[in-house]
Structure 1
Amino acid sequence: MSILHGPTTPFPADSTIPLLFTEQARGRPDAVAVVDADHRVTYAELDERSNRLAHLLRAQGVGPGSRVGVLLDRGHEMVTAVLAVLKAGGAYVPVGPGHPRERQREMLADAQATVTVSREELRLAAAWPSTPLPLPADSRALAYVLFTSGSTGRPKGVMVEHRSVLRLVCRTDYVSFGPDERIAQVADPSFDAFTFEVWGALLHGGTLCVIPAETVLTPGALGPALAAHRITTMFLTSALFTEVMTDRPDSFRGLRNLLVGGDVVDASRARRLAGSPRDLRPARFLNGYGPTETTTFAVCGPIESVPADATSVPIGRPIANTSCYVLDSGLRPVADGAAGELFIGGPGVARGYAGQPEQTRERFLPDPFATEPGARMYRTGDLVRCRADGMLEFLGRIDDQVKIRGYRVEPGEVEATLGRHPDIRQLAVVVEGAAGERRLVAHVVPAVPGTRPAGLREFLAGRLPEWMVPSAFMVHSALPLTATGKIDRAALPPAPPEGPDTDAVQPRTDLERELAELTAELLGLDRVGVTDDFFALGGHSLLAMRLVSQVNNRFATEVALGDFLYDPTVVRLAAEVSRGC
């Protein structure tokens, strides 16, 4: 059972995303396509708005083979933009407006984006005609380029074709899409779950409901939002699922489908949800696994129960039109039940990496088990085994890649970026902590012995997204080496808790003292100054969510997460608690 095939279903392999969307717009013009705050955009309106922008993009030279950067936040405008890019014949390249400018430039350059779409282009598009354009019909054309962390020091742009997207959301077996589906849009556009959310809804006449990031992160807010929007299906990263289940385990009641993934699913939280009364849990609870290179999901498995002694949750079986191979180092199938590296085949496999032919050849190999000429399989780097019941079990990575709050991170990319700091002579970036609590730690040797390089966190924050900035920086006179002269990462000491500066402002009231103790305990620190920045001490958005939840429960108040994120200090927390009491 080291070679597994999902069911073969007749998905529209020769069609394209805009062709299928146009069919829905013609058949359901007045149906609501996107709900975004006070905006209700019908299929007809979305069709017309994307046509206008597509005309503008065509006038700017966008056509088959073009890559178009999209610098917009989540919302109905982002959906309009990606649809317009596809109608113009191009491929969209989502680039977070909040990403550091240098990283934005690198991503657009690597993707060879010739045009970018921002709110200014949306404004200009209003003057262009709304008449339909001749739509591209090449299912093997590029649909989008998504960037993941790269071991070579630069992010890798994964090139995904139209047919790969259609294999994910059309005539598949893990979820039934249809016009009565209301799918939550919670993923960042640079995260491949965005593909599942947007096209799962819009290619079947369903409704895409944009849930604000603050709602997703604010303790207790997600459940009411899902109920208010009458959400039927959603995907949530494992880390966010863990947080919601810790605080509000009934948040998913009424859902038809809840998919979780992006990292190892916490077995205890999954056990809790699967064992909840039927009216307090989703009808179907699924573990979804798949690298960006295989178009969001390649393997899914229902989580119906989790044994009391289980420490992990199986990732499932191949979804429709997908093959999985568990192979040894010689690319031979392993014995039944043996561990091996997971390779994935089928039309969901991406074209490769933009501008990185060597990396493409290394990870995308000829598929010797396929009957289709020229078929390729993707080498995941994940160690798995196939259980007796046919379910795949994730065992770990065979390289240094990790998941930080659902995002893929190559420590090598962080090292390469930090290595450009002029005050560093040698460094190593390692991962500490278990799944769900992982953090990056940077060990550095200064260029000038006896000094302490300044501004390392700020240096990286200006070049990398937040989840790739190490939580701790340790300065050494030298790094330990192996007998062959390489850095001995296993010998690096664990990072001690980072406390505040010696001149940090101490608590001045009983409330500040109690909040400082709560914050320090959450961060694993001895103490916290009341003006210390929560994120500079190693915090992140999910820990902030947990802290606000604990504060609200302890003081019977309703501090908004956004207020704390705006000023992440104990002083601000104390002020908000006092205001709410």
Structure 2
Amino acid sequence: MAFEAIPSIVGRTIELFPDRVAVETPDSRLSYAELDGLADGVAAALHRAGAGAGSVVAVLTDDRAELAAAMVGVLRLGAVLAPLDLSAPPLRLAAVLADARPTHALVGADGDRRADGPLDAAPDTVRVGLGAAKSAARDSYPARTAAPDDPSHLFHTSGSTGRPKGILGRLSSLDHYIRWQAGLLGAGPDWRVGQLVSPGFDAVLRDVLLPLSVGGTLCAPPAGIRSDPSALARWIDRERITLIHCVPSVFRPLLTAAVTGGLGFASLRCVALSGERLPPADAARWFDRFGDRVTLLNLYGPTEATMTKTFHVVTRSDTDRASVPVGRPLPETEVLLLDEGGAPVPDGHVGEIHLRTPHLALRYHRQPEATARAFVPDRLREGADGLLYRTGDFGRLLPDGALEFLGRRDHQVKVGGVRVELEEVESALRECPGVTEAAVVLGEPGDGPPLLHAFVEPAVGVDTDAVRARLAERLPAAAVPVGIVATDGIPRTISGKIDRAALRPPAPAAAPDEHTVGPRNATERAVADIWSAVLPAPAVDVRRTFQQSGGGSLAVISVLSRIEEEFGVSLPLLTFLRNPTIEALAGVVEEALLDTASDDLLKD
């Protein structure tokens, strides 16, 4: 497939469909012609501010129309795109900006003040308002010829040193992936693609650039419903969304909401899943509800390989497997399973997944040692001077040739589709007052989402509630442990390393003491059972808040989904946050049930 730069592909689409809607948000509709003008304004404003080819440009805006225009404009200039999520903790944003060292930052037209604090971490960064870009003269920046290996985007994941790790991508990988997925799905001008993921993760590239490359419409939901499965499911149904990309932990409550709400998703054609393992049971529930009408696409690939590099169209027969395969490689990509010595393993045996493709990331940003460890010489192809990417994941080939993902080699884990490095969380824990040592493990409570648990030394003098609050200011929500246990001794191996295999999430809570108030009616008992299913320990006190019981933001989604499945009551996230105890939430559920019953009587 001959290389064509994404700005060229989008530009051709603009010429074909100037009047079609390119971006649709709750507040605006942007035509392709208007997108063209805004993108030119972005490129011109950046050029006037001194940016050019290779400049790293941070983008800080919540407005998805501005985000799309900024992405196209930055790429037109030949600069490096670095979108950030303004909803992330300020200290996390500051750490990313300090590592990225952007030369310029595009800030929302409204001049969002949330960008001010984090940008203090990058004092040499030139700030450019997207409002100014709207009035900038068009075409007043130099034309350039793009090359496949030009740096194009920068995204950050967790790093083992405690600082975020930047991954610098190349331009050819965008063209390669977007054109492949559009061709596989047959995407065209009638496609409406939901924009659900955070701007801070590389999956945003396919959310935005896929529809813009085929004349489709990028559709952004209201910000408040992204974490509300019922509201999000209704939005997908109402707005006739054709394609969504999400992680299985978002897919699961969406499916429950669709079933309990009687939603048909009549326009939906594909759900593309990545970032976590897809449980066969979830795929079975999907087929039971929607049959084969909507394609389930299971994808695999790290940020270092730009979005994904293998794919598998899920079938009903996959629901009988132990795990759903991640499939076969994209064109121009090979999957190699190697042993510790770098030799291929026999068919059917477990090996570490290595990727051979010209569309890998260029390197880790300003981390040459990490780059040398992960991007290794390709010694299996005689005379080759290329590189393999060592993923750190284990896998094996199934008898039908499909790749099965089996877990990570190191201590990187996925929580809610977000990559978390356990060492980063441990490093943040050690910076907390009173903590001298820390270890973090991942637990998987039944069919609930994976949860992090932390162990800290010493047992005396550590305020675990204060530690958790401090982490919430510095780490993404997915990286904050739901439980923190103070202990006198973290187990270690004979070599002195932390023995994570010997660490176990806390045992279920002991029987309630005399001060505990247990469930007092059927509704409270049902809500308590739902909490217990997703929390690290059973919920026994109806007055204890969800957070005090070890619940995190991801667990909230599961609770809301289960309440709707159990009671047929859809509760907004804000209602849960205002009623964070079993006692209060049970009262809200009962009121909703009474309101529903009254409405039914009036109808009769």
Structure 1 residue 482: deviation in Å? 2.2
Residue 564 of structure 1 aligns with an amino acid whose one-letter code is F
State the distance in 1 between where 2:425 and 2:382 align. Answer: 40
8 Å CA contact 1:63, 1:89 repeated in 2: yes
Secondary structure in 2 matching 1:41:
strand
Distance 1:267 1:124, change over 3 A: same
State the distance in 1 between where 2:87 and 2:143 align. Answer: 32
Greater shift in the superposed pair: 547-556 or 106-115:
547-556
8 Å CA contact 1:73, 1:97 repeated in 2: yes
Deviations 1:275-330 (A, max 9, x none): 5554xx54422111111111111000111123564221111000122221111222
Matched with 1:378 is 389
Greater shift in the superposed pair: 550-559 or 103-112:
550-559
Secondary structure in 2 matching 1:220:
helix
Deviations 1:392-426 (A, max 9, x none): 11122221111111111110111111111231111
Matched with 1:5 is none
State whether structure 2 residue 101 is matched by structure 1 residue 93: no
Greater shift in the superposed pair: 490-499 or 229-238:
490-499
State the distance in 2 between where 1:566 and 1:354 align. Answer: 42
State the distance in 2 between where 1:275 and 1:407 align. Answer: 28
How many residue pairs get aligned? The number is: 566
TM normalised by structure 2 equals 0.86
TM normalised by structure 1 equals 0.89
Select the residue among 149, 163, 167 that pairs with 1:154: 163
Matched with 1:297 is 308
Structure 1 residue 530: deviation in Å? 5.2
Matched with 1:108 is 97
8 Å CA contact 2:318, 2:324 repeated in 1: no
Distance 1:535 1:45, change over 3 A: farther
Secondary structure in 2 matching 1:408:
strand
Matched with 1:323 is 334
Select the residue among 523, 534, 537 that pairs with 2:549: 537
Select the residue among 227, 249, 252 that pairs with 1:242: 252
State the distance in 2 between where 1:181 and 1:106 align. Answer: 37
8 Å CA contact 1:252, 1:258 repeated in 2: no
State whether structure 2 residue 39 is matched by structure 1 residue 50: yes
Structure 1 residue 464: deviation in Å? 0.5
Matched with 2:210 is 200
Unaligned 5+ runs, structure 1 = 1-9
Select the residue among 555, 559, 563 that pairs with 1:547: 559
Secondary structure in 2 matching 1:113:
coil
8 Å CA contact 2:434, 2:461 repeated in 1: no
Distance 1:439 1:18, change over 3 A: same
Select the residue among 152, 161, 185 that pairs with 1:175: 185
Select the residue among 468, 475, 490 that pairs with 2:486: 475
Distance 1:559 1:489, change over 3 A: closer
8 Å CA contact 1:92, 1:144 repeated in 2: yes
Select the residue among 474, 486, 505 that pairs with 1:494: 505
Question: What are the residue-to-residue correspondences of 1:114-129 with 2, within 5 Å?
Answer: 114-119=103-108, 120=111, 121-129=129-137
Question: What are the residue-to-residue correspondences of 1:264-283 with 2, within 5 Å?
Answer: 264-276=277-289, 278=291, 281-283=292-294
Matched with 1:6 is none
8 Å CA contact 1:504, 1:532 repeated in 2: no
Identity of aligned residues (%): 34
Residue 184 of structure 1 aligns with an amino acid whose one-letter code is G
Select the residue among 22, 38, 49 that pairs with 2:11: 22
Structure 1 residue 493: deviation in Å? 4.1
Question: What are the residue-to-residue correspondences of 1:450-461 with 2, within 5 Å?
Answer: 450-454=460-464, 455-461=466-472
Select the residue among 399, 420, 442 that pairs with 1:431: 442
State whether structure 2 residue 152 is matched by structure 1 residue 138: no
Residue 303 of structure 1 aligns with an amino acid whose one-letter code is V
Distance 1:498 1:48, change over 3 A: farther
State whether structure 2 residue 568 is matched by structure 1 residue 559: no
State the distance in 2 between where 1:28 and 1:309 align. Answer: 44
Residue 168 of structure 1 aligns with an amino acid whose one-letter code is Y
Matched with 2:64 is 75
8 Å CA contact 2:524, 2:586 repeated in 1: no
8 Å CA contact 2:519, 2:540 repeated in 1: no
State whether structure 2 residue 346 is matched by structure 1 residue 335: yes
Deviations 1:185-218 (A, max 9, x none): 1111122221111111112211111134544443
Distance 1:469 1:371, change over 3 A: same
Distance 1:213 1:388, change over 3 A: farther
State the distance in 2 between where 1:138 and 1:76 align. Answer: 25
Distance 1:364 1:565, change over 3 A: farther
Structure 1 residue 385: deviation in Å? 1.0
Deviations 1:218-237 (A, max 9, x none): 34334432232222222121
Residue 153 of structure 1 aligns with an amino acid whose one-letter code is G
State the distance in 2 between where 1:282 and 1:152 align. Answer: 46
Deviations 1:361-395 (A, max 9, x none): 10012234569964322111111111221111112
State the distance in 2 between where 1:257 and 1:552 align. Answer: 24
State the distance in 2 between where 1:271 and 1:141 align. Answer: 43
8 Å CA contact 1:33, 1:42 repeated in 2: yes
8 Å CA contact 1:498, 1:537 repeated in 2: no
State the distance in 1 between where 2:15 and 2:143 align. Answer: 14
Residue 562 of structure 1 aligns with an amino acid whose one-letter code is L
Distance 1:251 1:217, change over 3 A: farther
Matched with 1:258 is 271
State the distance in 2 between where 1:150 and 1:501 align. Answer: 40
Distance 1:276 1:569, change over 3 A: closer
State the distance in 1 between where 2:156 and 2:482 align. Answer: 22
- Higher helix fraction: Structure 1 or Structure 2? 2
8 Å CA contact 1:74, 1:189 repeated in 2: no
State the distance in 1 between where 2:449 and 2:23 align. Answer: 34
8 Å CA contact 1:472, 1:498 repeated in 2: no
8 Å CA contact 1:339, 1:385 repeated in 2: yes
Residue 260 of structure 1 aligns with an amino acid whose one-letter code is L
8 Å CA contact 1:181, 1:232 repeated in 2: yes
8 Å CA contact 2:74, 2:80 repeated in 1: yes
Secondary structure in 1 matching 2:162:
coil
Structure 1 residue 184: deviation in Å? 1.4
Distance 1:385 1:493, change over 3 A: closer
Distance 1:134 1:422, change over 3 A: same
Structure 1 residue 515: deviation in Å? 6.7
Distance 1:185 1:490, change over 3 A: same
State the distance in 2 between where 1:498 and 1:138 align. Answer: 60
State the distance in 2 between where 1:308 and 1:31 align. Answer: 40
Structure 1 residue 524: deviation in Å? 5.1
Structure 1 residue 557: deviation in Å? 3.7
Structure 1 residue 54: deviation in Å? 2.1
Structure 1 residue 488: deviation in Å? 2.3
